[in-house]
Amino acid sequence: MMLHTAVEEDVKALVEGLNFKQKVDRSLALIEQAYAEYGDALVVANSLGKDSVAVWHLAKRVSPDMRGFIVTTRFKPPETKQFMREQVSRYPELKIYDSDAEIPDRLYETDPDRCCDILKVEPIRRAIEEMQVKCWVTGLRCTEGRTRVDFKEVEQRDEGLLKLNPILLWYEREVWQYLALNNVDVNPLYAEGYRSLGCAPCTKITTGANERAGRWIGTSKCGGECGIHTRPLKLVGGAGI
């Protein structure tokens, strides 16, 4: 099946060798094939960032029935929460997941990995279970930062759960190109200078080459990941985080 052969290809050569249109066509083809195979068990993870809204737009071109979920936290900026409300009222098939677990004050400073585990990874596990997801679609890109260079378009980190990264090969510039050409609404925080969006205490405006440099500044996670792309997401025998 072609979905799996993509794993074998040279990702770096494709990033540099394909033009914008070829990348868009490839992304659509990946989603189409996965949707043909998984149907309703294919679900888009929408973080409300620019990459996610591009993937959501692509997925909706493949099928208007496409479902999605948003994982939000109590620390998301008000602009992101407002953007989320707008997106959900436009697309009621986007389901919101969050956690109201009690956590120590300023856990994002003392132990950001644990904070992300509780506030992001646990709700995403719940989303995958409740929505009966067998293939989840993300906006991950391999040119995005230091931790994202070895991801593949199709990954299987958990038994019974495929991860599809249909815009893995896109440059940041190509995401903006796609959004502009298709008049896709974006989070207004981008107009303030943010390049990568997350929770308010852990996201800063930065300059320089690294797109994710503004995430978790001053912690061991600086420029890194919240864990949803690196931690197991299927609950095995009821095991927690």
Smallest gap from Cβ 203 to ligand SF4, in A, equals: 7
Pick between residue 48 and residue 164 the one whose CB is nearest to ligand SF4. Answer: 48
Are the beta carbons of 84 and 216 closer than 8 angstroms? no
Q: How far is the C-alpha of 78 from the C-alpha of 62, rounded, in Å? A: 31
Are the beta carbons of 214 and 136 closer than 8 angstroms? no
Pick between residue 17 and residue 218 the one whose CB is nearest to ligand SF4. Answer: 218
Pick between residue 180 and residue 217 the one whose CB is nearest to ligand SF4. Answer: 217
Smallest gap from Cβ 112 to ligand SF4, in A, equals: 4
Identify the CA nearest to 90 among candidates 133, 57, 41: 57
Smallest gap from Cβ 191 to ligand SF4, in A, equals: 21
226 is catalytic: yes
Positions touching ligand SF4 (CB under 6 A) are 73, 75, 108, 112, 115-116, 119-120, 198-199, 201-202, 226
3-state SS record for 30-54: HHHHHHHHHHHHEEEECCCCHHHHH
Q: Which residues are catalytic?
A: 226
